[in-house]
Structure 1
Amino acid sequence: MRIRLVIVYGLLTCVGAYLYALQKSKLVLPDFDTASYIQDKKTLSSPTTHYLLKESGNTILDAFKDIYTSQRTCEEKKNSTPKIIHQIWLGSPVPAKFKRLQQKLKDLHPTWHYKLWTDKDIADFKLLNQAAYDEAKNYGEKSDIARYEILEREGGVYVDMDVESLKPFDFLNDRYDFYVALEPLRANTLTCLSVANAIIGCKAGHPIVKECIEQIKKPQIDTKNAHPILKTVIKTGPVLLTRVCYNHRALLKKTGIILPSECFTPANKIWYSKSTPYRFCIHQWAHTWMK
């Protein structure tokens, strides 16, 4: 009886692996405009646009669309991004609602190495931007600073705690040495035209995370008069990552990708319930660092 169970389990495992490989091979990334909810490009401006670059918002968007179009059908590559998942939780114990999301993420990546970084782990890590980390006024900024350095040193995929995983990241990991997604392109919102930093996948030592670390050390934008929340978004968050990704757009066209928001970050709760074959996860916008 025991031998039969072992055989059945082995067969089920093989079938499961085959079905997943089949599903992965059939996955096709979506059309950029459709999956970015672009309604009217003329309205694509936001409070952060001033802090991004001298180019217009549409120029930035067109550059990111060009990267995506170039890399959308990229074939698998050997060892593009290591199969390591990093999450960060600072301060109080992890709430039950995030533990459920954490477990779902682990269950979808059974062969990956998983690490939850706590205050002690980061203290032992010895950050290059330790001074900026210590001076940060909220956990969001601290987490931003830490995630770039963790990825630069170890590689892998950083995932915010308020992200619900829907399918494994293997498809992206096997093709790109850097992958992120845009924030929803909703007109006149804080992070419109920004690259989200809630999910970042990359190889160790990638030039984009290296430059993020360097720009945190030597800020290139004056945020003295900015709102406290906007300061974080600009100094360490999506605005910083957007500027750096744009600086490295030529590299991304060769080995990376910037996905449309639908893949990681649906625009609102109406879209959360709509299943698509190319949605890897849902960023739920808990905004715990703002509270």
Structure 2
Amino acid sequence: MDRIRATDHPLSLSHDEQTRAHHGSALDGGNALRRSRSRSGFGSRDSGEGFGSFDERGGGLLASASKPRRSARTRLNRVRSRVSGAAAARVKMFKKLSSAAKAVRVVAALLAFAAASNVLTCGRVACGDAGATTPPPTPYRPSALAATQAGLYAKRSHGLNALNAFPVGHVSEKEPSSKTLIPRLIHQTYKSNDVPEAARRMMSTWTKRNPSWQTRFYDDAACVSFVRSEFPEYYDAYTSLPKDVERSDFFRYLVLLKHGGVYADVDTESVLPLDTFLKPNDALVVGWEGEFDTDEMAYSRHFVRRRQVLNWAFAAAPGHPALREVCDAIKKNAQRVFTNNTNRDTLERTGPGAFTDAVLRHFWRHSAARRSMRATPGLVSEDVEFVIRGVIDDASEDDSISSEDDSIVDDETSDETSETSAKNFAKWSVRVLPKVSFGTHPSGEDGVSQDDAGVFVAHKFLGSWKSRKGWSDGKSVWDLMRTFWHSVVLGDIVAHRARASRLDRWYAMPKVTETTAYPVSCASFDPPFDALTYLLGSNPDSLAGSAVERGGASLTKWGRDQPGRDVDAALRPTSAEALVGSLETFRSTGTAAAARGETAALVDAGAGLGYFSLAAASRGFRALALELDASARELMAASAAHNGFETRVDVRAARVGGGGEAFCAALVRAEKAKARDAGGFASAAIEDAVLVTEETLRVARVNRMEAASDGGGSGSDEEPRELELSR
């Protein structure tokens, strides 16, 4: 048994020291006890504190108040020794900690430093918006009238009452059509049959919610066999791709090109039955993954396009020319190096980069809107140029596409109706769903939650093929510290990452035509329709920062536009459903309006991109869309042409309401009339506004009369222009 020494405790004495202390030593003069007590704290000769200290001259015990004389250097050396010993012990203890414990302590130290800096800067632990006291917006509460009006359409079409007018997902629960362009096949692939349990649970949702669909699974060996037998012309390119994920991308395009159906990654969940949102005439259905207002913002989020289509879930009819085009592009670029950033190189070669370009080109090739927009240069996107540090490499060079569908695109002399034309163009149609449908993230990025009722497919991101070192050429410790500072202290991490992306030596983003129009399917409205929007951050100057730009971003995210209520856009019924639903009173049998043969039309004042007008037209109503901005009118007219609504939507350049002195004078008269009827103004603020406006109008009239007397202009008052709304 090991002997335990009493000196293991810092306040204890050893046996030898105790003996010397009791018996003393002529040679030592009792200094041993003095030294041991000095180390243990019983008697410090420096401070004189404790139980006592020894007299060096006589060896007797002195009172604790006595202070032995020692030099300042000796005292300083003792302090240094104690401090260095304590520091060494802490360092030794820190080295024994696990990596996780070390990381926790480092992060805690940085957070403490950031909190102290914030206190010195703004007087709070957290600066920025966190300390703001902005009141939350008033929640949207649909009225009983809105619910009743919205339910009229559902009651007429589906036999549902007003309370149950909108089932889960807010799309029509119609019987599956036996005639569809997209076969009822679901394709999924994994490297082997040993699929992780979490992914198996996701895969089971596809069979559970789509019992009438056939599911096919392929491991890597089956994929190679399929490509060898079905597409020998692509086999060499397929096997030469450097990464497994690139071959997986290539396979999903090939299997739908051959068989059609739906492709879905094994870590995606089927939230709604496919038959609830796939239409019989759909030929290619994809979803937006994200949209950014600058190239730097997209690059910092690891996107390769400012507006990008995802490829972890999509549906297609067999033989769709867009899939053939992306497969040809992959074959051509199988050995091409787009960038030394290995992750982005994959995204360009086989991922969303190549897929997005093909999808957008074929949307315009097979859309009736193309013919109506030929007079507007720049709105129709044809080619994408890839730019690296100012060196232009035309990715579409020698990449001519010839397919059997080109014969139906350029027939300008045809006298067919717009609706017949739309049907012909829809042979190889492309429908792009909003981000909420396929593109949500479990973290709810961009404010779009996977709990939203508009989610059709939820991607759970159970694993990643991307290399952690593949995004850049490395980050220094200083870069990481700056990122932490902007994240915790300044709170502008998103803007910081966008600025820092330009410092990446591999920075590369494709050129975009900023006036190009982009499609989005308003899939949450029944029946769904398509709308065109500008690229976020690239709206014309007349629309920058306007409600039209905000509405376009809302359509891209959610496929719906709830003016001023982005936060509550998921609540039902929406204003469009209530407004358009109210028109059903003119069509419902048994009503006085129907008995008189009256029909309804929607007057859309300040129509913007025409969401409300297109919604009304999708249910067969006429719409008069009034919009002053020419850029918005162009997109609205193109959207109407694409959907075959040209005979239903009348787009006019007009502003309803007016402006200037005449408009202000009319407001003053209206407020005075209300005040007379009510016995006074509704509030002191309104009364003050009326008085100020009247005085301003008086001064304007005086100035105008003086200018007229000097020969500088006319003294007549401005009169408001009335708009004729008759059909």
1:148 lines up with 2:253 in the alignment: yes
| CA shift in 2, pair 1:265/1:25, >3 Å | closer
Spell out, residue by residue over 1:13-52, the C-alpha distance to the aligned partner (whole angstroms, 9 max, x if none): xxxxx99xx9599617xxxxxxxxxxxxxxxxxxxxxxxx
Map 1:97-246 onto structure 2 (within 5 A): 97-125=198-226, 126=228, 127=231, 128-170=233-275, 171-185=277-291, 187-188=297-298, 189-191=301-303, 192-219=306-333, 223-246=337-360
| CA shift in 2, pair 1:140/1:221, >3 Å | closer
Q: Distance in 2 between matches of 1:106 and 1:272?
A: 24
Equivalent position of 1:262 in the other structure: 436
Gaps of 5+ in 2: 1-158, 161-165, 368-425, 468-727
Spell out, residue by residue over 1:109-137, the C-alpha distance to the aligned partner (whole angstroms, 9 max, x if none): 11111101112221221244222322223
1:274 lines up with 2:379 in the alignment: no
Equivalent position of 2:182 in the other structure: 81
1:285 lines up with 2:482 in the alignment: no
Q: Residue 164 of structure 1 aligns to which amino acid in structure 2?
A: E
Equivalent position of 2:151 in the other structure: none
Q: Distance in 1 between matches of 2:241 and 2:441?
A: 29
Structure 1 position 145, deviation (Å)? 0.8
Structure 1 position 154, deviation (Å)? 0.4
Q: Distance in 2 between matches of 1:204 and 1:197?
A: 17
Q: Which of these residues, 162, 171, 178, is aligned with residue 27 of structure 1?
A: 171
Q: Distance in 1 between matches of 2:442 and 2:349?
A: 26
Percent sequence identity over aligned pairs: 25
Contact kept? 1:212, 1:240, Cα under 8 Å:
yes
SS in 1 for 2:215: strand
Contact kept? 1:178, 1:252, Cα under 8 Å:
no
Q: Distance in 2 between matches of 1:257 and 1:190?
A: 25
Q: Which of these residues, 85, 96, 111, is aligned with residue 197 of structure 2?
A: 96
Contact kept? 1:261, 1:267, Cα under 8 Å:
no
Contact kept? 1:156, 1:202, Cα under 8 Å:
yes
Contact kept? 2:363, 2:430, Cα under 8 Å:
no
Q: What is the CA RMSD across the aligned residues, in angstroms?
A: 2.8
| CA shift in 2, pair 1:210/1:24, >3 Å | farther
Structure 1 position 175, deviation (Å)? 4.0
Contact kept? 1:263, 1:279, Cα under 8 Å:
yes
Q: Distance in 2 between matches of 1:229 and 1:209?
A: 23
SS in 2 for 1:204: coil
Spell out, residue by residue over 1:231-251, the C-alpha distance to the aligned partner (whole angstroms, 9 max, x if none): 110000100001111211224
Structure 1 position 256, deviation (Å)? 2.4
Spell out, residue by residue over 1:76-104, the C-alpha distance to the aligned partner (whole angstroms, 9 max, x if none): 89312111000111157211110000011
Map 1:53-68 onto structure 2 (within 5 A): none
Q: Residue 250 of structure 1 aligns to which amino acid in structure 2?
A: W
SS in 1 for 2:310: coil
Structure with greater Cα Rg: 2
SS in 2 for 1:214: helix
Q: Residue 143 of structure 1 aligns to which amino acid in structure 2?
A: S
Q: Which of these residues, 250, 256, 273, is aligned with residue 364 of structure 2?
A: 250
Q: Distance in 1 between matches of 2:168 and 2:430?
A: 18
Structure 1 position 286, deviation (Å)? 3.4
SS in 2 for 1:110: coil
Contact kept? 2:169, 2:455, Cα under 8 Å:
no
Q: Residue 111 of structure 1 aligns to which amino acid in structure 2?
A: S
Q: Distance in 2 between matches of 1:202 and 1:168?
A: 16
Q: Distance in 2 between matches of 1:117 and 1:285?
A: 20
| CA shift in 2, pair 1:226/1:286, >3 Å | farther
Structure 1 position 252, deviation (Å)? 5.0
Contact kept? 1:195, 1:242, Cα under 8 Å:
yes
Give the structure-2-normalised TM-score. 0.29
| CA shift in 2, pair 1:175/1:221, >3 Å | farther
SS in 2 for 1:246: helix
Gaps of 5+ in 1: 1-17, 29-75
Q: Distance in 1 between matches of 2:243 and 2:335?
A: 19
Q: Distance in 1 between matches of 2:340 and 2:218?
A: 30
SS in 2 for 1:226: coil
Spell out, residue by residue over 1:206-257, the C-alpha distance to the aligned partner (whole angstroms, 9 max, x if none): 0010101111111299535331111110000100001111211224533220
